Structure 1
Amino acid sequence: MQTKTSPNKEHTNGTSFQPFQSNSRFFDRNEFARLVSVHGAERNSKGFKCWDHFVPMLFCQIAQAKSLREISGGLASANGKLRYLGMKQSPSKSTLSYANQKRPWEMCRSLFYQTLNKCQYLAPTRHKFRFKIKLLSLDSSTISLCLGLFPWAKFRRAKGAVKLHLLLDMMVTPQILYISQQVARRMSP
């Protein structure tokens, strides 16, 4: 007896693959290739393309993976579906580590601003609710860091962290971004 499998099947780590696949379609491969060419990001690379590096980094953000092992293992659990994302196989931890060290960060910055411009263009200009003054929201998030790599970010005896303060307008556009040392916990009302 054959059983039907759902395209939204749950994987071993409890996350669905479909939301990740639809998020990766948001990025235009031609524009991505242009950014790679402009920044020379694939210079001296042997087989591990920038798109093969970007997909695991996007997966890391969506799945909230905290280590290269989680990224590599999470993608390996969906190995058959990676071809839909333009990848042949899940990268190893050492390959990801080397790419993180050697690829130019400027390409990621350009990709961020390109994506932000696309989001601002696609965002609705009219809303149901109108406010007389500009509506702003303030968010602060703690980003954990490794003390071995960032000794200046000492938070506790064996932990490192920085605090990211972000001021957003109604269109979810960053107005002010400030990074400070994580000294005290956020105060709640």
Structure 2
Amino acid sequence: MDQDTTQSTFNQILKQFPYDDFLRFIADFGVDKYIKKLFVIKLLYILIIAQISKIESLRELAGKVNNNPELQKLLKLDSISTSQLSRRLRDIKSTFWADTFIAVSKATLVKTAAYAHQEPKENKIHIIDSSTISLCLNKFRWADFRKTKSGIKLHQRIQIQNGCTYPDKASLLKSRINLS
């Protein structure tokens, strides 16, 4: 997927983003409890920026935020370190992000359901993307795929219909599956 399509996808998702559900998840999971600086909404925006900018490391992401005064002002962050991002991501349960994804998908499907009935199935396009996410071998031995790394694959299906682009389905699997 090229960068313009990615930005378009994120813009459409953010327009449909269920902020009320997201705030409820924050409260239910307690992800902002005792947090003074990097609230989860700011982390979400930083991760979206990383995705759009095709940033591949937390060090590079921290550098982008720290070297951009306009972005710092927008996020209300004076600075951010790689270790802060790492700790914050480590401490948030994956079920929080899974529930958020499901809420975004549902909100998008509800808003596009009217088009689904009007348009024939052959006018839908599904794009499947598979991305490998590298992990630390010491912490994620169950997901080993190289001698020195662990990893998982995110398989995501994106649906394009009547000018709307949205995630349709996602699944996480080990990067290397032993067939023996």
TM-score by length of 2: 0.66
1:82, distance to aligned residue in structure 2 (A)? 4.1
Q: Any stretches of 5+ residues in structure 2 without a counterpart?
A: 162-166
Distance 1:23 1:125 in 2: 17
The answer to which structure has the higher strand fraction is 2
The sequence identity of aligned pairs, in percent, is 23
Alignment of 1:58-97 (within 5 A): 58-84=48-74, 86-97=75-86
Helix, strand or coil: the match of 1:38? helix
Distance 2:156 2:37 in 1: 38
Q: 1:75 to 1:152 in 2, by over 3 A?
A: same
Match of 2:45 among 44, 55, 76: 55
Distance 1:46 1:65 in 2: 25
Q: Which amino acid aligns with 2:138?
A: G
Alignment of 1:132-147 (within 5 A): 139-147=129-137
RMSD: 3.8
1:115, distance to aligned residue in structure 2 (A)? 0.7
Distance 1:33 1:177 in 2: 24
TM-score by length of 1: 0.63
Q: Which amino acid aligns with 1:93?
A: T
1:109 paired residue number: 98
Distance 2:130 2:42 in 1: 31
Q: Any stretches of 5+ residues in structure 1 without a counterpart?
A: 1-14, 185-189
Q: 1:50 to 1:167 in 2, by over 3 A?
A: closer
1:69, distance to aligned residue in structure 2 (A)? 0.7
Distance 1:54 1:138 in 2: 23
Higher relative contact order (CA 8 A, sep 6+): 2
Distance 1:24 1:93 in 2: 27
The answer to which structure has the higher helix fraction is 2
Match of 1:173 among 157, 162, 168: 168
1:125 aligned to 2:116? yes
Q: 1:153 to 1:24 in 2, by over 3 A?
A: same
Alignment of 1:145-184 (within 5 A): 145-165=135-155, 173-174=168-169, 177=171, 179-182=173-176
1:59, distance to aligned residue in structure 2 (A)? 2.1
1:92, distance to aligned residue in structure 2 (A)? 1.8
Alignment of 1:21-32 (within 5 A): 22=11, 25-26=14-15, 27-32=17-22
Alignment size in residue pairs: 164
Distance 1:75 1:127 in 2: 44
Larger Rg: 1
